[in-house]
Structure 1
Amino acid sequence: MTSEQWVTIRRDLHQIPELGFQEYKTQAYLLEYIKSLPQDHITITPWETGIFVYVEGTEGHQTVAYRTDIDGLPIAEATDLPFQSTHDGRMHACGHDLHMTIALGALTDIVHHRPANNVLFLFQPAEEGPGGAEPMLASEPMQSYQPDYVFALHVDPKGPVGTVSSKPGLLFANTSELFIDFYGRGGHAAYPHETKDMMMAASAFNMQVQQVVGRMVDPLKSAVVTLGKMEAGTVQNIIPEHARVEGTIRTTDADSMTAVKQSIEQLLAGIEKRYSCQTTVDYGANYYMVNNDAEYVERFKQAIAKTNVTYQEANAAMTGEDFGYMLKELPGFMFWLGVDSEHGLHTSRLNPKEDAIEVGIEAVVAMIREG
């Protein structure tokens, strides 16, 4: 395959972004390509809207797993590219179109030039939500193949093309969504004493929750609680009976996540008493931290040293990735792939450099062959 052909595949996938567990067109496109490869030593197992592809090695002493995510985001694309999304309000704004193309490229190389080890390619749905890693990890195909380790990549808009980066230990944070509803009694703006104002209750919570990290979390550990959305009221002269806040929690260790959630619940109990209201809290999707195994990061560095790719040491980030659940159960690691985009992840203008596709393929294949 030429670089132009990989670019074509990436652009095809870019035009059909689908949300988690709705990746029907994406799965069909991937299967059509995978089935075009020589089938002598591979086993294809569709799972939900994802796919397992097992390649039998020449010796098969161990099984290496490589995971790619395949879903898009509910973002309206604003790149004005000639191949932009054809699905209204949906976009590959996190680089999963590149991720899939790189996985297909690595699979193609491995099928035509089989390594000693078995290789299991995981085309995982629903990384952006509600979370596909945990159920895929627990699935019957995954249990039957029993990989010895697993690795994955993620595009890095800030990294230059031609580079990869990783580090031992924490790479991505624990993350949790946060949805809180406040229920009181609405009424006329002229009679506030007859109401239980939920705009006031939600506003008080918004102010007080910022103290949680500063006073409830070990200062030697990192955590952040961000509220990005608040809804309350209908018109200017009605005191609202309901308010809702939405946000995210991110921590660098699992114990801090538990502590933050307990503190939020204690804070809400106080809000209920102070404002005579009821509250409900929903933590939505929760992702476990991406904690890289030092041994496999070192192996990756050694593999990259034999290529034309440049390795750089990464810093830990407060981003989240459900690949962390796989690393909780299996040794392995994740690495960043530089794609040099002016706009960042989860933005409507993300535009990764397509030259990074072949860099990613080279890096993934090098690690698989390293053993």
Structure 2
Amino acid sequence: MGANGGGAVVSADTIKEKLVAVRRHLHQYPELSLEEVQTTAYIRRQLEEAGIRIATQYALPTGVIAEIGGLRGGPIVALRADIDALPVTEETGLPFASKVPGKMHACGHDFHTAAILGAALLLKEQEDKLPGTVRIIFQPAEEKAAGAVKVVASGALEGVRAIYGLHNKPDLPVGTIGIRSGPLMASADGFLVELEGVGSHAAVPEASVDPIVAAAYLITALQSIVSRNVSPLDSAVVSVTRLNSGTAWNVIPEKAVLDGTLRTFDEEVRARVVKRFGEVADGVAAAYGAKASLRWLQGPPPVHNDAGLAAAAADAAKRLGLNVIEPKPSPAGEDFAFYQKEVPGLFIFVGTSGPKEWHHPAFDVDERALPVTAQFFAELAASELNRFAT
């Protein structure tokens, strides 16, 4: 039992070998967003072998939803793990490195899946004591910010009192849990600006409307949005990451295209920056005689953690003797935020003592974090069911 009678098994050492094997299998056979067919089948087999019921009423293109408990009704809480990989060529040299050319679990979703599967196995052992239901969501397509929306559309959040998710954190040591109320991860929007001018011979610039000059000034002008439209007490990032124009050294082209990303931790700031971005793009283009066309690629909103859930999670971690810290917010995006638009949610960082950051070709995790993470989320889910049931 958990220290407060939560229902989770105190030690997860008995399933450590199992979780390592699961993680390594998934690591060798990565699949990209919405292509996770074999990953889905593998997870489903693991659940069925453990006698965990599959919630077939929540249909997904890929991914699995399962349930534990609920034998006497009661509240519902959800645990979520993402299952997709990245188009990255692995450079770890591990004996269980990816066997799929150009694809890799470079963000640790194999770790997330194995750890939450471990939590499910621990909770299954205590199923008859759970005063409610734990819904386990193995979600596809986090990297494309498309999976959470599909889960919501399936109805899998109906009746859920709270949802909990995780991300490995390479810069935190194993045994450390990062819990923060309020903003934790940023919105992640992309933009594409097309500047249309008039082409000409490079030796006759007066006959042109040079889109490259307009693009150069626009890139500089866009930086003033954050410095002059966002409070120093808030934060935002506008980064132009690509500029394409021209085909020859002696030709002024007709068009220049630039794209990049916007990151914020606040929806009001996000809306203000988007508005000013359009105004600046139109104004700079007009000043140089060009025309700007702007397209936004809207990503997930900011991850904003519920304060009550954060406090309860910190208590659960401390009961297990884990080191609880308040992590710095990350400007990376995470589609867990879509769940938080529907129900109270908490996204948690888990220390994995990794050698490299997310999305690096040499990314890896310390597998000693697997049983720690499984035990923590089992304890958290069981204790939260007890809290909501009283």
TM-score range normalised by the length of the shorter chain: over 0.9
Out of 346, 350, 363, the residue aligned to residue 333 of structure 1 is 346
Aligned to 2:11: none
Query: Is structure 2 residue 226 aligned with structure 1 residue 224?
Result: no
CA distance in 1, matches of 2:182, 2:278: 30
For residues 88-118 of structure 1, the C-alpha deviation after alignment (integer angstroms, 9 at most, x for no partner) is 3222121111011111111112223212220
Query: Is structure 2 residue 193 aligned with structure 1 residue 176?
Result: no
Assess if the C-alpha contact under 8 Å between 1:151 and 1:334 holds in 2. yes
TM-superposed CA distance for 1:148, in Å, is 0.8
For residues 179-235 of structure 1, the C-alpha deviation after alignment (integer angstroms, 9 at most, x for no partner) is 222222333322222223222222111111000001112232111111222222223
Structure 1: runs of 5 or more not aligned: none
Out of 252, 256, 259, the residue aligned to residue 246 of structure 1 is 259
1:31-50 to structure 2, matched below 5 A, reads 31-39=44-52, 43-44=55-56, 45-50=58-63
Aligned to 2:356: 343
Query: Is structure 2 residue 123 aligned with structure 1 residue 140?
Result: no
Query: Is structure 2 residue 352 aligned with structure 1 residue 300?
Result: no
CA distance in 2, matches of 1:88, 1:197: 42
Letter in 2 for 1:332: G
Aligned to 1:27: 40
Query: Is structure 2 residue 123 aligned with structure 1 residue 110?
Result: yes
Identity of aligned pairs, percent? 32
Structure 2: runs of 5 or more not aligned: 1-13, 385-390
- The 1:103–1:245 alpha-carbon spacing in structure 2 relative to 1, beyond 3 Å, is same
CA RMSD of aligned residues (A): 1.8
1:137-216 to structure 2, matched below 5 A, reads 137-143=152-158, 146-216=159-229
CA distance in 2, matches of 1:171, 1:209: 25
CA distance in 2, matches of 1:303, 1:12: 30
- The 1:157–1:362 alpha-carbon spacing in structure 2 relative to 1, beyond 3 Å, is same
**Larger RCO, structures 1/2 (Cα 8 Å, 6+ apart):** 2
Equivalent residue of 1:150, what SS?
strand
260-269 or 297-306, which deviates more:
297-306
TM-superposed CA distance for 1:82, in Å, is 2.4
Assess if the C-alpha contact under 8 Å between 1:20 and 1:130 holds in 2. no
208-217 or 245-254, which deviates more:
245-254
TM-superposed CA distance for 1:276, in Å, is 2.7
Assess if the C-alpha contact under 8 Å between 2:115 and 2:373 holds in 1. yes
Out of 274, 298, 310, the residue aligned to residue 323 of structure 2 is 310
Assess if the C-alpha contact under 8 Å between 1:42 and 1:55 holds in 2. no
Equivalent residue of 2:98, what SS?
coil
Out of 140, 143, 151, the residue aligned to residue 125 of structure 1 is 140
Q: What TM-score does the superposition give when structure 2 sets the normalisation length?
A: 0.89
- The 1:84–1:232 alpha-carbon spacing in structure 2 relative to 1, beyond 3 Å, is farther
Assess if the C-alpha contact under 8 Å between 2:59 and 2:154 holds in 1. no
